[in-house]
Structure 1
């Protein structure tokens, strides 16, 4: 198995970037209003989750990083499953954006050192 390459800080920075992307990119890409609303709601839930996880760029470290690591696969699965919802499945641009976002989020989870031993 390959070494985990993302430190807790790097993982958090990617999470912040992905959350920001959910807020901005759907509008810039002119995705449907319904999909923009879905992503805005998801980002609203994800931002506090990232900001409150115990990691070097946390606003307040309340959630243990390992717990974050146990929750993240469910978040990725949720994004993957929403590809089956009509708002995504019936619209090519929305579907491809969601699949790309899911792949990036999934890669982030797989490449993270959840024990925090990766050099920073």
Structure 2
């Protein structure tokens, strides 16, 4: 039994979006890392708004597909900063590794087969 329901997952996603938007200023990330963080925030916001879950606005994406999209984003959390050079600085590297760990942890604790209205 996984403890994260679709409703809780939505709350986590929207909170994560807010943190990804605030992180560049709060952590004084360099320009490339800040841009990548904001791009991820926008993509997570878009997917969350379109997911069939209690906090989704236009339920187009089935909740299990949301999970597949989220899992597929994990390699990009490393690849984009690495390819852009934003991964060289310690603060930026720790930030993106922390995001990756958060995504993988939330993914593994989410009940993707739960009733999407929970």
Q: TM-score w.r.t. structure 1 length? A: 0.88
Give the distance between the partners of 1:83 and 1:4, measured in 2 at CA: 31
Q: What 5-or-longer segments of structure 1 have no aligned partner? A: none
Match of residue 114, structure 1, among 112, 115, 118 = 112
Counterpart of 1:68 in structure 2 is 66
Residue among 32, 35, 40 paired with 2:33: 35
Aligned length: 116
Matches within 5 A, 1:36-55: 36-55=34-53
Q: TM-score, normalised by structure 2?
A: 0.89
Q: SS of the counterpart of 1:78?
A: helix
d(CA) in 1 for partners of 2:48 and 2:103?
13
For residues 71 and 46 of structure 2, the distance between their equivalents in structure 1, rounded to whole angstroms, comes to 17
Could you say which residue in structure 1 is the equivalent of 2:55?
57
Q: Which runs of 5+ in 2 are unaligned?
A: none
User: How big is the shift at 1:105?
Assistant: 1.0
The answer to whether the 8 A contact 1:19-1:43 is kept is: yes
CA contact (8 A) 1:83 1:99 kept: no
Alpha-carbon distance between aligned partners in 1 of 2:75 and 2:62, rounded to the nearest angstrom:
21
Cα separation, 2, equivalents of 1:45 and 1:68: 12
